[in-house]
């Protein structure tokens, strides 16, 4: 196409030069003037054509340079994106490697713990067999205890320690926001052994601490799984003062939690009120180490509401679990209105407000009936736990899937001011009004 254009332009230049030459010749210029005009015209035309061609080439070259620059810019942008993706992949691989190493360390710790338990149990069983009483009934009880100890040993050695979770719901919506964990052992046939059964032999043999330690590891595992699924659900995990004071276990456990401190918002360690009040300097110091990592604490088995809330705040205790029967039995009618037996100077409905000033939320546990819910809501308690909202269940994928779902209920939700049916607190207020 370009060659055709060049030939056409050359022909046009030649015709133009011939026309100029003929005009000069016919006007009396002679052959010499005509030839000169022809040659000069052709030269001028070709010179102009050269300039035009050069200008077009320069413009085309500039367009090509602009295209190359744009292509380079796109390539640099893509290279930056690839580099960013490679950085993300490298970070993810590094994180996976770190988690794998942490899990491997955890499994080694569990294996060592179970091995020590097996050795201790074998020693205990041997001593019990040697020192068995002569009488038949005593010997029979010794054999039963030895068999039960052997069952506990096998359950620990073969990792038949299950984690059961019970929901803790927000009131009045009854949406699950926490779980409380419990440990259960299974024998070789798969039968679940309740704590009342195996604790009869585990406590005298000093095995409760070891079982609690295994439960702590299970809690860390399940919280990690919930966090991986982006579930915003916390787990209350019981920790004994014996575990806090264990010079062998606690440093290893603290190291594990330090490697998983991103789980601090979802893992809440729970102690009984009596154990918390009786804690020593070692236990308090180790609780402080857990608090420094961001982990929180909860008190359960609360029987005395006359509590030093400043001490709770200093110890990073953020939850207080009081059973519904204990809480409602604390209510006393006075001339000033309803008060708590343990705190007669405080109105009953102001108890939750008092705890919140110290950063502590009250959880009403062992809730069994809708009537109790009415009174609990009247006391402005924000959380509830009990068989009314769900029984403890073995951890399964279904439980994880329900982590954010509202707890099922078989009765309509009572509003903060009950319609139909009068609770204990509301009934007492009505009676006081009539008086």
What does the pLDDT read at residue 360?
Answer: 95
- Residue, of 397 and 164, whose pLDDT is higher: 164
Helix axes 30-130, 208-228, angle to 10 degrees: 160
Number of domains the chain contains: 2
Average pLDDT over residues 312-330: 93
Residue 323 domain-assigned? yes
Whether 196 maps to a domain, the answer reads no
Across residues 403-418, what is the average pLDDT? 40
Residue 35's pLDDT band, with cuts at 50, 70 and 90, is low
Task: Between 423 and 76, name the one with better pLDDT.
Answer: 76
Q: Answer yes or no: do 80 and 171 share one domain.
A: no
- Indicate whether 134 belongs to any domain: no
* Chain mean pLDDT for the chain: 75
Question: What is the rounded CA–CA span in Å between residue 191 and residue 309?
Answer: 43
The answer on 179 and 64 residing in a single domain is: no
Buried b (16+ CB within 10 A) or exposed e, 235-244: bbbbbbbbbb
80 vs 386 pLDDT, higher one: 386
**Same domain for 56 and 181:** no
For 6, the domain range is 1-93
Q: Say what the pLDDT of residue 60 is.
A: 78
Residues 169 and 89 in one domain: no
| Residue of 172, 163, 165, 164 lying closest to 364 (CA atoms) | 172
Determine contact, residues 389/408, Cβ cutoff 8 Å: no
Does 26 share its domain with 175? no
C-alpha to C-alpha distance for 146 and 159, rounded to whole angstroms: 20
Question: Is residue 70 scored above 60 in pLDDT?
Answer: yes
Which band of pLDDT confidence, cut at 50, 70 and 90, is reported for residue 394?
confident
Q: What is the phi/psi pair of residue 225, to 5°?
A: -65, -45
Signed CA dihedral, 110, 114, 119, 123: sign only: positive
Task: Say what percent of the chain tops pLDDT 70.
Answer: 64
**What is the reported pLDDT for 309?**
93
Q: What is the mean pLDDT of residues 214-242?
A: 78
Q: Pick the residue with more confidence: 379 or 79? A: 379
Indicate if 30 and 179 belong to the same structural domain: no
> Given pLDDT bands bounded at 50, 70 and 90, which one contains residue 98?
low
Asked if the model's pLDDT at residue 273 lies above 90, the reply is yes
Residue 57 pLDDT greater than 50, yes or no? yes
- Is 344 in a helix, a strand, or coil? strand
ω into 36 cis (within 30 of 0) = no
Question: Would strands 234-238 and 192-193 be described as parallel, antiparallel, or unpaired?
Answer: unpaired
For residue 297, the surrounding DSSP H or E stretch is: strand 296-300
Helix or strand (DSSP H, E) at 94: helix 30-130
With respect to residue 34, please indicate whether it lies within any of the assigned structural domains.
yes
| Per-residue pLDDT at 288 exceeds 70 | yes
- DSSP code at position 406: B
- Mean pLDDT over residues 205-222, rounded? 74
Domain with 219 in it: what CATH number? 3.20.20.450
Report the sign of the C-alpha dihedral through residues 111, 112, 115, 117, in that order: negative
pLDDT grade for 21, boundaries at 50, 70 and 90: low
Q: Report the alpha-carbon distance of residue 230 to residue 207 in Å, rounded.
A: 35
Determine phi and psi for 403, rounding to 5 degrees. -60, -35
Q: Taking residues 356-365, what's their average pLDDT?
A: 95
For the chain, counts of helices (H) and of strands (E): 15, 13
Question: Of 50, 76, 93, which residue sits at a domain end?
Answer: 93
Which of 406, 331, 332, 336 lies closest to 375, judged by CA?
331
Q: Is residue 198 one of the residues assigned to a domain?
A: no
Residue 175: pLDDT above 80? yes
Q: Tell me the HSE value of 182 on the side-chain side, using a 13 A CA sphere.
A: 15
Whole-structure pTM value: 0.62
CA angle 223, 257, 221 (to 5 degrees): 30
Are residues 178 and 43 both part of a single domain?
no
Mark whether 263 and 355 lie in a shared domain: yes
Asked if 88 and 168 sit in the same domain, the reply is no
Closest CA to 388 of 162, 163, 166, 178: 166
Residues 82 and 167 in one domain: no
Please report which confidence band the pLDDT of residue 179 belongs to, taking 50, 70 and 90 as the band edges: very high
Inter-residue contact 380 to 146 (CB < 8 Å): no
Integer Cα distance of 322 and 413 in angstroms:
21
Higher pLDDT, 312 or 225: 312
- SS3 (DSSP) at 334: strand
Which ranges constitute the DSSP H helices of 351-420? 351-357, 370-378, 397-401
223 located within any domain: yes
Res. 25 pLDDT band, cuts 50 70 90? low
169 in the same domain as 54? no
Percent with pLDDT over 90 in the chain:
25
User: Of 221, 222, 211, 217, nearest to 155 (Cα)?
Assistant: 211
Please check whether residues 79 and 173 belong to one and the same domain: no
What average pLDDT score do residues 271-296 get? 93
**What are the percentages of helix, strand and coil residues in the chain, rounded to 5?**
60, 15, 25
For residue 77, the model assigns a pLDDT of: 74
Q: Which of 293-302, 336-345, 361-370, 402-411 has the lowest mean pLDDT?
A: 402-411
Structure confidence at residue 406 as a pLDDT band (50, 70, 90): very low
With respect to residue 269, please indicate whether it lies within any of the assigned structural domains.
yes
Q: Give residue 404's pLDDT band: very low, low, confident or very high (50, 70, 90).
A: very low
Last residue of a domain, one of 93, 117, 148: 93
Nearest alpha-carbon partner for 421 in 349, 350, 369? 369
Which helix (DSSP H) or strand (DSSP E) does residue 284 occupy?
Answer: helix 281-292
**Cα–Cα distance for residue pair 288/277, rounded to 1 Å:** 15
pLDDT, residue 397, reads: 45
Task: With a cut of 80, say whether residue 189 has pLDDT above it.
Answer: yes
The residue from 36, 62, 93 where one domain ends is 93
* Residue 38 confidence class, pLDDT cut points 50, 70, 90: low
When pLDDT is averaged across residues 171-182 and rounded to a whole number, the result is 91
């Amino acid at each position: 196409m370009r060659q055709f254009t060049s030939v056409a332009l050359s022909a046009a230049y030649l015709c133009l030069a011939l026309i100029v030459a003929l005009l000069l010749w016919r006007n009396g210029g002679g052959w010499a003037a005509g030839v000169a005009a022809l040659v000069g015209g052709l030269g001028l035309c070709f010179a102009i054509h050269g300039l035009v061609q050069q200008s077009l080439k320069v413009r085309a070259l500039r367009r090509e340079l602009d295209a190359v620059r744009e292509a380079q810019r796109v390539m640099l942008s893509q290279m930056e994106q690839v580099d960013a993706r490679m950085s993300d992949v490298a970070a993810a691989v590094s994180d996976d490697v770190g988690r794998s190493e942490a899990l491997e360390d955890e499994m080694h710790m569990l294996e060592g713990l179970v091995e020590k338990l097996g050795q201790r149990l074998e020693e205990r069983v041997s001593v019990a067999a040697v020192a068995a009483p002569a009488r038949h009934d005593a010997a029979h009880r010794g054999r039963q205890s030895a068999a039960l100890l052997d069952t506990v040993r096998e359950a620990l050695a073969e990792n038949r320690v299950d984690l059961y979770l019970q929901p803790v719901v927000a009131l009045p919506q009854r949406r699950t926001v926490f779980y409380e964990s419990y440990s259960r052992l299974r024998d070789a046939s798969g039968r679940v052994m309740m704590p009342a059964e195996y604790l009869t032999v585990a406590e005298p043999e000093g095995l409760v601490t070891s079982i609690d330690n295994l439960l702590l590891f299970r809690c860390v595992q399940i919280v990690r799984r919930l966090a991986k699924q982006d579930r915003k659900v916390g787990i209350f995990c019981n920790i004994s003062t014996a575990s806090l004071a264990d010079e062998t276990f606690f440093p290893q456990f603290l190291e594990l939690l330090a490697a998983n401190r991103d789980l601090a918002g979802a893992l809440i360690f729970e102690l009984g009120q009596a154990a918390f009040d009786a804690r020593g300097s070692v236990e308090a110091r180790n609780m402080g180490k857990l608090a420094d990592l961001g982990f929180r604490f909860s008190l359960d088995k609360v029987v005395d509401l006359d509590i030093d809330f400043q001490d709770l705040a200093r110890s990073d205790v953020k939850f207080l679990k009081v059973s519904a029967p204990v809480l409602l039995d604390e209510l006393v009618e006075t001339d000033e209105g309803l008060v708590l037996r343990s705190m007669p100077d405080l109105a009953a409905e102001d108890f939750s407000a008092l705890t919140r000033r110290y950063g502590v939320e009250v959880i009403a546990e062992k809730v069994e009936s809708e009537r109790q819910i009415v009174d609990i809501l009247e006391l402005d308690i924000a959380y509830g736990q009990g068989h009314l909202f769900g029984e403890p269940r073995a951890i399964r994928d279904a439980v994880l899937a329900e982590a954010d779902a509202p707890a099922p209920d078989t009765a309509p939700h009572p509003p903060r001011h009950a319609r139909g049916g009068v609770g204990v607190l509301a009934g007492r207020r009505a009676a006081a009004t009539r008086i």
